[in-house]
Structure 1
Amino acid sequence: MSQVNWPAIGFTILPNLGGIGGGIITRKNINPWYESLKKPQCRPPNAAFGPVWTTLYSSMGYASYLVFRDGGGFNGPARLPLIVYGSNLLFNWAWTPIFFGAKDLKLALYELQLVNLTAIGTGYLFYKINHTAGYLIIPYCLWLSLATALNYVIWRDNKDSKPKITELKDQ
């Protein structure tokens, strides 16, 4: 019988913890606020976002495990890639409270650029330690491209409609 690789499981689950928090914030603001926004017809259905993010977060987490394992942990060459990855997670997790919580579409778009930059940096640095880990970040970067385009179009098409103060107080 094989041994359970607890570090791999822990690294894989970690990014999903922020995703769970983001999911709670999102669910509270889907209806009526988000549903009332003008959105592009080509956007994925709301039901797709949970499974996609769970898959991406799990892939990112496993990639970070591979880098931690193959790069000597926080005391080896993996240190910088893991710091950039950790920064990316924090920026990623911050987007949802900005977009759905504060309902600040423009600030969310700007903040998303930090997510994009650190995701690309993470992929590059992970690849230098473990090629598979670098490849596992590619779907995340592609999804971020879609998320950035959606955030931009939603901001562009709704920048004249601000949430009412009463909507913000009800949070």
Structure 2
Amino acid sequence: MSLPMVGFTALPHVGGILGGFIRRREVYTWYASLKKPSWCPPNGAFPVVWTSLYTGMGYGSYLIWKELGGFTEDAVVPMGLYGLQLALNWASVPLFFGVSKFYYSTMLSWYPVSRTASLLLAPYLAWMCYTTAIRYCIWRDNPDKKE
């Protein structure tokens, strides 16, 4: 196991941990008071899913970095899109609603470099679509809770 592999794989977890601290209190107060769709997973599922997703996308970013020979000119677009996607993901916790179109762009830019790395983002994309639908339903069904 190499240091870059560990670093790339661990990086997405940094924002996830910080986001966890931000939302920790709201999960039991504000979020608990919201009307949620029946298909919303239990609170305990989120840390498990996010740990898996962050590990997969982090390892995928390592594969792209390695395949492109580090931070080279060829790596600017795929790694830049990934960095932007990761930043938006981290920001979505405090903002509650994120921007999801970058996930497609990252997957498309990674595919020619490493099909495996691109496919490692597929569960992340699916989860983001699912949680976006949950967030929309929460927003729609809780008009009195909007700030």
Q: Which TM-score applies when normalising by structure 1?
A: 0.83
Where does residue 91 of structure 1 map in the other structure? 88
- How far the C-alpha of 1:126 sits from its partner, in A, is 1.0
Q: Structure 2: which 5+ residue stretches go unaligned?
A: none
Where does residue 124 of structure 1 map in the other structure? 108
Q: Which has the higher helix share?
A: 1
- How far the C-alpha of 1:74 sits from its partner, in A, is 1.9
Alignment partner of 1:35 is 2:32 = yes
* CA spacing shift, 1:162–1:117, aligned 2, 3 Å: closer
Assess if the C-alpha contact under 8 Å between 1:78 and 1:129 holds in 2. Answer: no
Q: Deviations over 1:18-61 (max 9, x none)?
A: 00001111111112210000100111110000010011011000
Alignment partner of 1:144 is 2:107 = no
Alignment partner of 1:6 is 2:3 = yes
Equivalent of 1:69 in 55, 66, 71: 66
Assess if the C-alpha contact under 8 Å between 2:15 and 2:90 holds in 1. Answer: yes
In percent, how many aligned pairs have the same letter?
46
Assess if the C-alpha contact under 8 Å between 1:88 and 1:119 holds in 2. Answer: yes
Counterpart amino acid of residue 128 in structure 1? P
Alignment partner of 1:155 is 2:133 = no
Assess if the C-alpha contact under 8 Å between 1:126 and 1:133 holds in 2. Answer: yes
Higher relative contact order (CA 8 A, sep 6+): 2
CA distance in 2, matches of 1:96, 1:88: 13
Q: Which TM-score applies when normalising by structure 2?
A: 0.95
Rg (Cα) greater in structure = 1
- How far the C-alpha of 1:128 sits from its partner, in A, is 1.3
Figure out how many residues of one structure are paired with residues of the other and give that number: 147
SS in 2 for 1:140: helix
Q: Structure 1: which 5+ residue stretches go unaligned?
A: 100-107, 164-171
Assess if the C-alpha contact under 8 Å between 1:63 and 1:136 holds in 2. Answer: yes
Assess if the C-alpha contact under 8 Å between 1:73 and 1:79 holds in 2. Answer: no
Q: Deviations over 1:141-162 (max 9, x none)?
A: 0001101100100000012334
